[in-house]
Amino acid sequence: MATKSERKYLSSVANIGCILCRHLGFGTKDAEIHHIRRFGGKRSNAPVIPLCPEHHRGNTGVHGLGAKGFEKRYLLTQEFLLEQTQALLGDSTGV
């Protein structure tokens, strides 16, 4: 169960729009929350990034390609996208 502040955090992450589309210059698209699982531990503790449905679950997405295939295709890592996400969150919330 997500707490109120967790839900607020997740919605502000989703509000950024797809972090990969943004990086690729496709503009901002409505995003879903993707949990980066490779750090291990529980899903609820996993860091999150916003990805559009295609880049999340589609054939060219992180689940469609797998984490390794995804990173190879776009020449970046999920950690890089996480850093971008956190930088944007910092900008928008003043943290």
Residues found near Zn ion in the complex (CB under 5 A): 18, 20-21, 34, 52, 55
Q: Considering beta carbons, is residue 52 or 94 the nearer one to Zn ion? A: 52
The set of long-range contacts for 64-72, using a CB threshold of 8 Å and a minimum separation of 24, is 67/38
The least CB distance from residue 62 to Zn ion, in Å, is 6
Q: Considering beta carbons, is residue 47 or 86 the nearer one to Zn ion? A: 47
With H, G, I as helix, E, B as strand and everything else as coil, classify residue 37: coil
| Residue number, nearest CB to Zn ion | 18
The least CB distance from residue 10 to Zn ion, in Å, is 13
* Residue type for position 85: T
* Residue in the block written with tokens 């776009």: 74
* Residue type for position 90: G
